[in-house]
Each structure stands twice: as C-alpha cells, then as structure tokens.
Amino acid sequence: MKKCINSGLFWSLLIVAISCLACHGRSKPSVKPPEKPKEKDIVEQPEALNVRIGRNLQSALEFILASGGVLNDSIDLAKDSLVNDIYKKRDYQPVWCSQEKWLPLSDSLFEFLGHAKEYGLFPADYHYRILKNIRTQTEDTLGQKDAALWSRGELLLTDAFFRMCYDLRRGRLPYDSVTLRKDTMTTRSFLNLFDTLQQAGDVAGLMHALEPKHPAYDSLKSGLKTLLKSMEPLKSYTYIPYPAYNSAEYYNNVKRRLFEEGLLNSPFDYLDTTAMKLAIGRYQRTKGLPETGKLNATTVNSLNNTGWEKFKRIAITLDRYKLLPDSMPATYIWVNIPAFNMRIVDSGTVVMESNVIVGQPKTRTPLLTSNVSNFITYPQWTVPFSIIFSEMMPKILVSRDYLKKQNLMVVDKNDSVMNPDSLKWKKFNKDNFPYLIKQRQGDDNSLGVLKFNFANRYSVYLHDTNARWLFSKENRALSHGCVRVKDFMKLADFLVRNDTLRFPPDTLRSWISRREKHVVSGFPKVPIFIRYFTCEAKNGSIKIYNDVYGEDRVLSQRYFDNKTL
C-alpha cells in the first residue's frame, strides 16, 4: 500500500514539474518596439504646426530611448534622458522654435556651437553641421511646413546644450587620482541650467560660468582664439610616432606624411632607402632644418607640429584645468613636468620661478598634490630598492669600489655601517636584502645640499643636485622621479620668509657653508601641485612643450583622433 502511495505521489510531482517547466519555457508576450519616426511630416496649416511638432517630438523620443539614444545613422543623442525630461515636463511642446521660426535664443545657442573650437571643443560633438543643414532647410517653403524636420532640430539643440554644459564644466578626460574638482552636476543641476537659460536668455554667460576659474585657462583659451584666426583650415595629418616601435608601420606613416606635404606622388609607391632619404632631405630643406636625409627627433617634431596636432594638444590642456579645484590656494608651488619648470604663486602673482629636472620616461615623476612641510640642509640619501637592483647591483657585483666612489655606505636595521666586502652580494635580490644603502651627505650627494619634503606614496621630493650642469640641457627629463630645483635657495628663502626671528638673513647659507645638517620646519605648509600641462599662454602666444611622457598622445588617440573640425 505504501509503495502505491509513493508511486502515485511520484507521478503527481512529475506532472507538476513538467507543467512548471512548460510555463517557464513559454515565451512572454513581446513588447512592440516604438515605430521609427517619420522622415517628413508636412503640415499645411501653420496654426497646427506646433501641435504636430509636439507629436513628432514624443514619438521620436520614445524611439530614441528604446534604441539607446540613436534616431538614425547620423543622429545620436548623448544626453537622451535629459532631453526627454525637458520635453516631457513641457508636454512635448517645442522650446527653440515657434510658428515656422527659430526663436532668438536658439540663434544664440547655434552661434555659440559654431564657435566651439575657441573652447578647445569639436563642433561636430554638438551636431553643428546637421543643425546648420536643418536651419537652411527650414528657410524654404516646404521645409517650414515639415514638423518632423523642426522636431529633429529641437532635439539636437537641446542635446547640444546639455553636452556643451557637461564638456565645459567637467571636461572629456576621465577623473583620476589627482583630480580635485568636485563633480557636483546632477540631473537636477542640468535641468536647472536649462530653466536658467530659458529665463535669462544669456547663452555665453551661462556657459562661461561653468568653465574653470583659472587665469591660465582664460589666457590659453584667448591664445587659442588668436591662433585659430592665423591658421589655415585645420586638416588632419598622419602622426609620426618617435622613436619607431614598428618599422613597417613607421615606414608607411612616414610615406603618408611626406605625401601630405606634396613630396611624394603617392603614399603607396615603393621607396628604396635612397629615395626616402631624398624626400626627407627635401622636407628638411623647406623647413630650414639640417639636411641629413634622416628622421631625427627635430624632424619628426616638425612633421607633427601641424595646426591639427596643436589644436588637440591645447584641447587636452584646457580639459586638464577642469580637473583642478574650483579655486587654488592663496599660495602654492606649481611644478609643470613638460615645461621643466617650477613656480611659486602667491596671491595670484608668480613670485619665484625656476628650471627643474624631472624623471626620465622610464622613471617618471608622478602627478600628485601635497604640502611642503620641511626641508633639510645637507641631507642624506637613502637609495630606493628599485635603483639598487636596477642600476647599482650589477656594478657592485663587478667591484665593491663602486660604493666608495659613489660615497655610498651599507647600513643594517640599526643604522650600523657594514663592511661591504663581508657581505654575500650574489645571494641578494629584491626579496632578500636586509640592508639599506645610503649616500653620505656632502657636496657630492645626489640630493645636493637641500631637500624639500612633502608627504606622498612615491617617496619623491624636491631637492638640489650634485650635477647642476644638467640644468643647461634642453631636455631635462633625466632624474629617477624626484624633481631637482635649480634655484633651491630661493625656494628655501620663500618658505621661511615670515620667520626672521628664527632665520635671520643668511642663516641658511651659513649652515650650508659650514656643512651643517638642520631640519627646518614650523613654517606654514605650502601646497604643491605636480602636473602635466604641455601648453600655456606665454608672452602673447601659445607655448607648446614636448610631450615627454607621451601622455597627450595617448589621450589624443583615445578621445580625439577620430574627431573632425
């Protein structure tokens, strides 16, 4: 009897399970996707035009939201959700046009979009060409009656407004570990901006309020405006990487670039070494460069120094300002890596400037924000492990005399000096080295006679150097990562300028002349910003520095190389 009950229960459960599986596998009724909006919607009665524009706006937005922002092959809204919020709130009534005319506010916005280049922006990102075509069509009798055409213009203008606000406020570069500007723009903030524009009617004023409040930003933007007036129409040219990493790709890039200069009949013809040298030599001759027939750094920089490349470098730099805080401290130290330059800014005025040496490309100076808290006369250098094993260890293995010649000593955890000849150097590696290598203080110390400390996780600092002749070199990306300051005494004087009781004139110099070690602290900490800005306005023109770490090139390839003006 029990067996029969169990058997019946089994079949009952099986039937239920099969039924559940059948229900689970049954497809749900599909939701019909919105129909694609009409390409044309001719309205004969002018008084009905706004009503039909509203219908087109609603149907177009339903389609756009369902298709991820895409209306057709040429129209893609970047801020589709915000655009929808605007028109939904207004019952899908037009805001930029009325009764077969574009309103004055739309004219102002359209004109602003046309000048996007002057802000380091790309007009195509704001639908400028399409909007220009739509505005031309709506000047014709038939276009004036096309509700679908007017609705597309409405959507594009609203999307352009929001994207312009976003790019002027936040920029196009990703926020990183040294970004200090707060991203406070919420959906409500953007919608409020739209309402403010509708009420005040001042496009330029509203946009300017979103930009960084830095004099250097304004100067660079002003210089860009002047530069654009003097340049030929911006045309995209082939970029030549240097040095070459792929010989075949490099060779083809050079041929394309020489063709663009009119020095070759075709970028596809085979060129032997002699023909290539002749073409390069002709280019060098036309540019006033030494006619070597060989591609060197100077020639490649000249080939890449086109208006298009300049524009992209300036655009990147303008966006870098959007990563800084809304206001800078009253007093701060600014180190610009590509410029090999350090400045002290006090109450908006540059009170001190110095050449610096920065890290080599393989040992880069890191970007950071900190505060200079103290400095040391006659410092002692503790060699980082990375330098010990990448540079010193091979030389130590050859001869222990290397340590003596470099004024280096090996110390244990108790800071006791060890006899290097007694150590088993061949057994040491990065995971097994229970000592430190230090360089005795003195004039031949790598840190020189002054070292400025600021908290950071990279163990870098500002300092003097025992190789001061390197400041005369044009390319000063030469260090292991720290920043060497040519005018280190002026920096020290500035830090203690308000404490004449403890530090009467020439006190620091007396310590140094007597080779005395002192830790100087107690002065107000001074913020330090180490940044990477390859462009700046200087003496009425724009100075473009060498992209020493290739940072601009990476960003250009990622964000701007597919853009057009």
Residue ranges covered by each domain of the chain: 46-211, 326-379+446-551, 381-440
Residue 22 reports pLDDT greater than 50: no
How many angstroms separate the Cα of 151 from the Cα of each of 36, 81, 266, 336?
14, 16, 46, 48
What's the pLDDT score for residue 348? 92
Catalytic site includes residue 482: yes
User: How far, in Å, CA of 345 to CA of 338, rounded?
Assistant: 18
Half-sphere exposure of 436 (CA within 13 A, CB side): 15
What's the pLDDT score for residue 335? 98
Residue 12 reports pLDDT greater than 50: no
| Local confidence band at 27 (pLDDT 50, 70, 90 cut-offs) | very low
What's the pLDDT score for residue 24? 41
* Spatial contact of 371 and 525, defined as CB atoms under 8 Å apart: yes
If you average pLDDT over residues 367-393, what whole number do you get? Answer: 90
| Nearest partner of 381 among 454, 458, 482, judged by Cα | 482
| Nearest partner of 99 among 45, 139, 56, 50, judged by Cα | 50
* Spatial contact of 483 and 365, defined as CB atoms under 8 Å apart: yes
Q: Which residues contact 251 (CB under 8 A, 6 or more apart)?
A: none
Tokens of 166: 């976003």
Residue 30 reports pLDDT greater than 70: no
| Local confidence band at 438 (pLDDT 50, 70, 90 cut-offs) | confident
| Domain 326-379+446-551 bears CATH identifier 2.40.440.10 | yes
* Ranges 107-111, 131-135, 372-376, 442-446: which has the least confidence: 442-446
Residue 296 reports pLDDT greater than 90: no
Q: What is the average pLDDT value for the chain, to the nearest integer?
A: 89
* Spatial contact of 344 and 491, defined as CB atoms under 8 Å apart: yes
What's the pLDDT score for residue 431? 85
Residue percentage of the chain with pLDDT more than 90? 65
User: How far, in Å, CA of 293 to CA of 282, rounded?
Assistant: 8
Residue 247 reports pLDDT greater than 80: no
- CA atoms 253, 255, 260, 266: torsion sign: negative
Residue 366 reports pLDDT greater than 90: yes
DSSP alpha helices (H): ranges in 362-473?
385-387, 393-398, 401-405
If you average pLDDT over residues 365-372, what whole number do you get? Answer: 97
Return the HEC string of 456-493.
Answer: CCCCCCEECCCCHHHHHCCCCEEECCCEEECCHHHHHH
| Distance from chain centroid for Cα 212 | 15
What's the pLDDT score for residue 21? 33
If you average pLDDT over residues 247-272, what whole number do you get? Answer: 89
pTM: 0.86
Give per-residue pLDDT as tens, 117-126: 999 999 999 9
Tokens of 257: 């670039």
Residue, of 93 and 250, whose pLDDT is higher? 93
| Nearest partner of 493 among 484, 480, 512, 506, judged by Cα | 506
Catalytic site includes residue 463: yes
Coil vs helix vs strand at 505:
coil
What's the pLDDT score for residue 16? 38
If you average pLDDT over residues 18-28, what whole number do you get? Answer: 39
User: How far, in Å, CA of 150 to CA of 101, rounded?
Assistant: 9
User: How far, in Å, CA of 86 to CA of 160, rounded?
Assistant: 13
Name the residue type at position 225: K
If you average pLDDT over residues 276-301, what whole number do you get? Answer: 91
Residue 19 reports pLDDT greater than 50: no
Residue 39 reports pLDDT greater than 80: yes
* Spatial contact of 113 and 164, defined as CB atoms under 8 Å apart: yes
Residue 25 reports pLDDT greater than 70: no
Give per-residue pLDDT as tens, 391-421: 899 999 989 988 888 888 898 888 888 998 8
How many angstroms separate the Cα of 415 from the Cα of each of 332, 390, 445, 497, 516?
36, 23, 18, 35, 20
User: How far, in Å, CA of 526 to CA of 293, rounded?
Assistant: 50
What's the pLDDT score for residue 9? 40
User: How far, in Å, CA of 331 to CA of 328, rounded?
Assistant: 8
Residue 240 reports pLDDT greater than 70: yes
Rounded to a whole number, what is the distance in angstroms from the first to the last CA of the chain?
Answer: 88
* Spatial contact of 67 and 73, defined as CB atoms under 8 Å apart: no
Coil vs helix vs strand at 28:
coil
| Local confidence band at 7 (pLDDT 50, 70, 90 cut-offs) | very low
Listing DSSP states for 128-187 in one string gives HHHHHHHHHHTTSHHHHTBHHHHHHHHHHHHHHHHHHHHHHHT-SSPP-TT--S-----H
What's the pLDDT score for residue 31? 60
**Helical packing angle, 147-169 and 104-114, nearest 10°:** 50
Q: Count helices and strands (H / E) in the chain.
A: 20, 18
Identified catalytic residue from 97, 463, 480, 535: 463
What's the pLDDT score for residue 245? 67
| Local confidence band at 246 (pLDDT 50, 70, 90 cut-offs) | low
What's the pLDDT score for residue 248? 80
What's the pLDDT score for residue 5? 40
Residue 182 reports pLDDT greater than 90: no
Identified catalytic residue from 97, 165, 482, 535: 482
Q: What are phi and psi of 246, to 5 degrees?
A: -130, 105
Coil vs helix vs strand at 352:
strand
| Distance from chain centroid for Cα 524 | 31
User: How far, in Å, CA of 95 to CA of 76, rounded?
Assistant: 20
Give per-residue pLDDT as tens, 489-537: 999 999 999 998 899 889 999 999 999 999 999 999 999 999 999 999 9
Place of tokens 């020095």: 263
